[in-house]
Structure 1
């Protein structure tokens, strides 16, 4: 099997590119990019007298993230770091879609629900969408049909599939990533 076929096959299983599948120069650029984005979080706070560390996750938060994908997604910074990591693997559409589904559940106005659902369809579901997520035909077709008779659960099956994909593929790589390890080292260095 050719090398490009192997990469294509891996993409089908993970729906993400791992940094090792990128050309060396892009891999380095991508890694530097996420390090720049979270530089503040990775620098230890030199002043032990600073009480306000609310912009950084605690070591307890980080431990909870490692124990449960739900804990990671329910934490403001956990979700933000997971998004940064997903961008480094070129699969940010998954967490963005999942978040959009969560937002959709909070909408009570039918007009706003229809508007949000249609924009989600255009951005994530339709063929050739800018951030098309990996869904089977049946799920995609069910969403297309539900656009005529919308409810807050119209995207639920797709959200569950994307959640499972992230939990089984991206999440384990996040927990073993340099990004997560860097957060843990910084958090441990700042503990009293």
Structure 2
């Protein structure tokens, strides 16, 4: 699966390769859908038009499991996978039911925000300072400002490059020539 802190970039790269193969095989089948299976055997319905929808909006790309996996693999290839990882871990954090968010918030801060973090995201000093203050007494919205900035960065910078990438264009070509 391509979500959360526990996933490895290799998993998404493998999924991206699998998607290219599955979408390519769609074109050789009479029906317009095929079931794709990840390593964990979770079935994802693939549709020949799915890759076309990803260029409609960044939200459409992120709302598609397959689109998200391909986008994440693209970010891995550009050495900026920490952006989508941070965005997704923030989404997970907001949905956390645990009453004590402190440990989870600190873990996210240590991994993505603090100086010299192993997966440090590109944030300005003021945003980092605000998040640092928020993590001292965390609530479900303590990363909202940083998450919004990373989302905007991906939407304005990474997403347009993804749409022009050989990875995506090749997939589109395969779906259009089918």
1:148 CA drift (Å): 2.0
Indicate yes or no: 2:105 matched with 1:117: yes
From 41, 66, 89, the equivalent of 1:77 is 66
Larger Rg: 1
Indicate yes or no: 2:128 matched with 1:147: no
4+ runs of 1 displaced by more than 6 Å?
A: none
Query: Structure 1: which 5+ residue stretches go unaligned?
Result: 1-33
- Evaluate the alpha carbon distance shift between residue 162 and residue 144 of structure 1 in structure 2; reply closer, same or farther with a 3 A threshold: same
Q: TM-score, normalised by structure 2?
A: 0.79
SS at match of 2:70: helix
For these two proteins, the number of residue pairs brought into alignment is 155
Q: TM-score, normalised by structure 1?
A: 0.73
1:184 CA drift (Å): 1.3
Which residue in the other structure is 1:42 paired with?
Answer: 20
1:49 CA drift (Å): 5.1
Indicate yes or no: 2:54 matched with 1:65: yes
Taking the aligned partners of 1:147 and 1:187, their CA distance within structure 2 comes to 45
| Structure with the higher helix share, 1 or 2 | 1
The 5 A counterparts of 1:42-191 are 42-43=20-21, 44-45=24-25, 48=29, 53-55=34-36, 57-111=46-100, 113-190=101-178
Cα-to-partner distance string for 1:14-64 (whole Å, 9 max, x where unaligned): xxxxxxxxxxxxxxxxxxxx5x76333223227525776132743432222
SS at match of 1:132: coil
Which residue in the other structure is 2:10 paired with?
Answer: none
Query: Structure 2: which 5+ residue stretches go unaligned?
Result: 1-12, 37-44
Taking the aligned partners of 1:130 and 1:161, their CA distance within structure 2 comes to 19
Cα-to-partner distance string for 1:79-116 (whole Å, 9 max, x where unaligned): 111100001111000000000011111112122x2222
SS at match of 2:141: coil
Higher relative contact order (CA 8 A, sep 6+): 1
